[in-house]
Structures are given as C-alpha cells and as structure tokens.
Amino acid sequence: MELQINGKTYEVQADADTPLLWVIRDELGLTGTKYGCGIAQCGACSVLVDGAVTRSCVTPVEGVVGKKITTIEAIETDDVGKRVVEAWVKHQVPQCGYCQSGQIMAATSLLRQTLHPTDEEISAAMVNLCRCGTYNAISAAVHDLAGGRPGQIAATGVSGQASARESGKTVATATIALVGIAALGTIGAKATGNGRDES
C-alpha cells in the first residue's frame, strides 16, 4: 500500500492492521515520532493526518491510505509548525525531549484550526503527558503563540475558519491528573515488554 508522508509517497509492506507508528519508525526510519504508552494516552506518538493530531500507536496503517501524514521531521515546512518550534526554543521547553515531538504536533494542530485559542481550548488540546513536567513552559509557549498570557487571551479578530470552535471541551484538571497517573503506570509496563527500539 502507498502512504503520503511529509510530501512524499512511500510503498510500505506492513500488514493492514499494523499501527502507523511502527510503519513510520521501523519501516521508514522516521524515528522522531516516539512510542510512549501504546494505548493513545500519552501523546508521544502524535502525528498530523490531514492536519488533525492523531495517535499513531493505535491507528491502523490501512486507515490512513490516501491521507496526508505529517511527522515531526517535516513540521517546520509548515508555517504554523515552524512558529511552534521557534516558540519551543524561545521558552526552552524541552528537558529530556522524548515527548516533545508529540507536544509540538498537538500545538501545531490546535493553532492551525484556531488562530487565537482561548484558555479552555488550549487546556483541551494540550493534554499530552510529559514525564519531566514541562507543562508550565509548554503553556507559556502556546499562550505566546496565541497572543497573550493565560487568562488574557484575545478572543477577537479571528478569521472565519479560526472562529469555528467546538464548545464544551473544557478539560477538568482533576480528570487530566487521573488519566495521567493511569497512563504513566501503563507506560512502564508497556515499554518494558515492548522489545522495540524507542530511541
């Protein structure tokens, strides 16, 4: 089957139900996309599929045939993605860096859909886990890109496409914490028995 990844066409030999993550990493050698939990909770495996952030660890490769896939390797070819990377550098976001490709994909997807997201939209979109706890730096970088500080985001002057926001997506802090605790426990168990190169 053929996949469209980073503007190129690849002929892949994987079974139809193989997770996209392993095709990207093992067959194509694009190792910037990381394995974290294997259950679509941590977000380290995030890529863009037709512009939407997608957990590649649970996405069968047959489901993305004919769609445009973008990985971290090509994110700076996108104007918004380039701005996100620059903001990550400006705010010195990464520590170990393992989760940051997924964080950047999530931020890029958000900002491509909504030029000036509200605090609630940022909280709803930026739910990837970071074992180094860089959440404050991530928040600062995204709010900088959105045009203001937390609690002071300008909600006016948004284009028609950018203003098409979904309502009711506020994520409670307690819910994020509980999901994070559960996923972190799973990460250790999955990674131990995974047997794949996770570099």
177 domain-assigned: yes
Rounded-to-integer distance, Cα 165 and Cα 150, Å = 18
Rounded-to-integer distance, Cα 67 and Cα 3, Å = 7
pTM: 0.75
The number of domains in the chain is 1
The predicted-structure confidence for 66-92, as pLDDT tens digits, reads as follows 999 999 999 999 999 999 999 999 999
199 domain-assigned: no
Question: Please, are residues 71 and 127 in contact by the beta-carbon 8 Å criterion?
Answer: no
What is the gyration radius of the CA atoms in the chain, in angstroms?
Answer: 17
The predicted-structure confidence for 14-57, as pLDDT tens digits, reads as follows 999 999 999 999 999 999 999 999 999 999 999 999 999 999 99
Rounded-to-integer distance, Cα 157 and Cα 89, Å = 27
Rounded-to-integer distance, Cα 35 and Cα 44, Å = 6
CATH number of 26's domain: 3.10.20.30
Residue 163 has what pLDDT? 34
189 domain-assigned: yes
Give me the sign of the Cα torsion angle 99, 140, 171, 52. negative
